[in-house]
Structure 1
Amino acid sequence: MADVQNDGWWYCLRHDTVEHGAGCPNKERLGPYPDEATAARALSIAAERNDRWESDDEDERW
């Protein structure tokens, strides 16, 4: 089994950059992602998920 900490692609919130493998602590980054391009979109992916969750919450209120 692969070690995700050392093999995955991550988006570092501290340095605003993509990291591969071991890097900053996981509490300071998003991921892991399957590839560098997806990790580079981490903030957009998170924003899209937040929008969907907020929309779902609003739908449940009514």
Structure 2
Amino acid sequence: MAEDKEHAFWYNMRTGEVEHGLQSTSLDRVGPFNTREDASHALEKLRANSAKWSEDDARDAR
């Protein structure tokens, strides 16, 4: 993850666009990401994390 949030890349959930820097409200964006490429794959990363967390929860419930 990017440490310099003002110069990092973000994925805007409302527009589906990658942004450079803090352009939109925090409610609309996810990130930060180090590269535009990483930010462009934000939804894939979110889906993968969600699936992993669901699997972890199911395993813990046993």
Which sections of structure 1, spanning at least 5 residues, go unmatched? none
TM-score (norm 1): 0.89
Equivalent residue for 2:29? Answer: 29
User: Within 5 A, what are the aligned runs for 1:1-62?
Assistant: 3-4=4-5, 6-62=6-62
Q: Deviations over 1:23-45 (max 9, x none)?
A: 11111111000100000000000
CA root-mean-square deviation: 1.2
Q: Distance in 1 between matches of 2:49 and 2:55?
A: 10
Q: Runs ≥4 in structure 1, deviation > 6 angstroms?
A: none
- Aligned pair count reads 60
**Percent identity for Structure 1 against Structure 2:** 28
Q: Distance in 1 between matches of 2:51 and 2:4?
A: 31
Q: Distance in 2 between matches of 1:3 and 1:33?
A: 10
Higher helix share: 1
